[in-house]
Chains A and B, each alone.
Chain A
Amino acid sequence: MKRAFNVWNNLDWFTVMIYLALVIIGWINIYAAVYSDEHQHIFDFQMRYGKQMIWIMAAIFLAIVALVIDIRIYSFFAYPAYLATILLLIAVIFLGKEVNGARAWFEIGGLRIQPTEFAKTATCLALAKYLSSFEIRIDKVKTMMTILLIIAIPSTFIILQPDVGSLLVFVSFAFVLYREGMPGGFLFFGFLLAFLFVFALIAQPLTVLIVILFIAVVAFFLLNKGTKETLIFIFTLVGLYFLIFIIAKLFHIKLSYYKTLLIASIITGISGLVYQFFRKVPYAFWVAVMMFIAIGFTYSIDFVFNNILESHQKQRVNILLGKESDPRGAEYNVNQSKIAIGSGGFFGKGFLQGTQTKYNFVPEQSTDFIFCTVGEEWGFLGSFIVLALFGLLLVRIIYLSERQRSAFSRIYGYGVASILFFHVFINVGMTIGLLPVIGIPLPFFSYGGSSLWAFTLLLFIFLRLDAGRLELFH
Chain B
Amino acid sequence: MNQYSTRQYIIAGIFLSVFLIFLVRLFYIQIIDSTYKYSAENNSQRYVTIYPARGLIYDRHHKLLVSNKAAYDLMVNPQELREFDTASFCKILNINKEYVDKTLKKIKDYSKYKSSPFLFQVSDTTYAELQEKLYLFPGFYVQARTLRQYQYPIAAHLFGYVGEVDSSIIKKNNYYQMGDYIGMSGLEKSYEEYLRGVKGVNILLVDVHNRVKGSLQNGKLDRPAILGKNLVSSIDADLQIYGEKLIKNFRGSIVAIEPKTGEILAIVSNPTYNPSLLVGRERTKNFIDLRNDKSNPLFYRAIMSKNPPGSTFKLLNAMIALQTGVAVPSTTIGCYHGYTAGPVHVNCHVHPSPLDMPHSIQHSCNAYYSVLFRKIIDEQKLPRNQAYDVWRKLIMSFGLGQKIHTDIANELGGNIPSSNYYDKIYRKSWNSLTVVSLGIGQGEIGLTPLQLANVACAIANRGYYYVPHVVKQIEGIDTIDQRFLKKNKTLINPEYFDTVIEGMYMAVNGPGGGTATGAAVKGLDICGKTGTAQNPHGEDHSIFIAFAPKDNPKIAISVYIENGGFGATIAVPVASLMIEKYLTDSISRPYYEQYLETKRINYPVK
Residues in A lying within 8 Å of B, measured CB to CB = 37, 175, 178-181, 184, 328-329, 335-336, 338-346, 355-356, 358-361, 375, 379-380, 383-384, 387, 390-391, 394-395, 398, 401-402, 414, 417, 421, 424-425, 428-429, 432-434
Contacts and interface: CB of A to CB of B under 8 A. Distances in A.
B207 A380 contact: no
Interface string B1-37: 0011101101110111011011101110111010111
Nearest to B214: A37
A348 B501 CA distance: 87
A355 B26 contact: no
B433 interface: no
A383 B22 CA distance: 10
Given A342-B35, A417-B15, 10 more contacts: A178-B7, A180-B4, A181-B4, A336-B43, A339-B43, A341-B29, A341-B30, A380-B31, A391-B15, A394-B16
Given A359-B206, A390-B19, A398-B11, A340 B40 contact: yes
A429 B30 contact: no
B44 interface: yes
B213 interface: yes
B581 interface: no
Contacts of A340: 40
Nearest to A402: B8
Interface in B197-219: 205-209, 213
A41 to B, nearest CB: 20
Contact of A343 (B10, B26, B40): B40
B205 A425 contact: no
Nearest to B16: A391
Contact of A384 (B11, B12, B26, B205): B26
Interface in B102-138: 112-113
B79 interface: yes
Nearest to B39: A339
Contacts of B3: 181
14 contacts: A328-B113, A338-B36, A342-B40, A343-B36, A345-B31, A359-B205, A375-B26, A387-B19, A387-B26, A394-B16, A398-B8, A417-B15, A432-B25, A432-B26
Contacts of A421: 15, 18
A455 B499 CA distance: 109
Interface centre among B12, B21, B22 (most CB of A within 10 A): B22
A175 B7 CA distance: 10
Main SS class of interface, B: helix
B27 A380 contact: yes
Contact of A338 (B11, B12, B29, B112): B29
Contact of A342 (B15, B22, B37, B205): B37
Contacts of B12: 394-395, 398
A387 B22 contact: yes
Interface centre among B4, B18, B36, B208 (most CB of A within 10 A): B36
A380 B26 contact: yes
Contacts, number: 122
B37 A343 contact: yes
Given A360-B208, A390-B19, A342 B11 contact: no
Main SS class of interface, A: helix
B16 A346 contact: no
A88 B11 CA distance: 32
A429 B208 CA distance: 25
Contacts of A338: 29, 36
Nearest to A344: B30
A383 B28 CA distance: 13
A379 B22 CA distance: 14
A398 B6 CA distance: 12
B43 A356 contact: yes
Contacts of B21: 434
B36 A361 contact: no
Interface of B: 3-5, 7-8, 10-12, 14-16, 18-19, 21-23, 25-27, 29-31, 33, 35-37, 39-40, 43-44, 79, 112-113, 205-209, 213
B87 to A, nearest CB: 25
Contacts of A414: 11
Interface centre among B5, B10, B18, B26 (most CB of A within 10 A): B26
Contact of B207 (A361, A391, A432): A361
Interface centre among B5, B21, B27, B29 (most CB of A within 10 A): B29
B36 A342 contact: yes
A340 B8 CA distance: 36
A123 B393 CA distance: 99
A248 B207 CA distance: 65
A341 B36 contact: yes
A37 B205 CA distance: 14
Contacts of A417: 11, 15
A341 B10 CA distance: 30
Nearest to B44: A355
A359 B44 contact: yes
Contacts of B30: 341-342, 344-346, 375, 379-380, 383
A387 B112 CA distance: 36
B216 to A, nearest CB: 10
A402 B6 CA distance: 10
A338 to B, nearest CB: 6
Contacts of A346: 30-31
B41 to A, nearest CB: 8
Contacts of B15: 391, 394-395, 398, 417, 421
Given A361-B207, A395-B15, A398-B11, A342 B29 contact: yes
Contacts of B206: 359
Given A178-B11, A342-B35, A328 B112 contact: yes
A175 B36 contact: no
A244 B550 CA distance: 103
B139 to A, nearest CB: 13
A451 to B, nearest CB: 20
Contacts of A329: 112
A345 B37 CA distance: 8
A74 to B, nearest CB: 21
Nearest to B25: A432
A336 B33 CA distance: 15
A341 B19 contact: no
A335 to B, nearest CB: 8
Given A342-B35, A355-B43, A402-B5, A328 B29 contact: no
Contact of B26 (A37, A178, A383): A383
Contact of A360 (B10, B37, B209): B209
A232 to B, nearest CB: 32
B88 to A, nearest CB: 24
Interface centre among B5, B15, B31, B206 (most CB of A within 10 A): B15
A179 B26 contact: no
Contacts of A178: 7, 10-11
Contact of B22 (A37, A356, A360, A429): A429
Given A395-B12, A428-B22, A356 B4 contact: no
A428 B31 CA distance: 17
A394 B17 CA distance: 12
Q: Which 5 A-B pairs have the closest CB atoms?
A: A342-B36, A359-B207, A343-B40, A355-B44, A342-B29
B8 A361 contact: no
A358 B206 CA distance: 10
B19 A391 contact: yes
Contacts of A344: 30
Contacts of B10: 178
A179 B36 CA distance: 41
B208 A339 contact: no
A360 B5 CA distance: 47
A382 to B, nearest CB: 10
A329 B113 CA distance: 9
Given A359-B206, A361-B208, A387-B22, A343 B39 contact: yes
Contacts of A342: 29-30, 33, 35-37, 39-40
A407 to B, nearest CB: 8
B112 A434 contact: no
Nearest to B18: A425
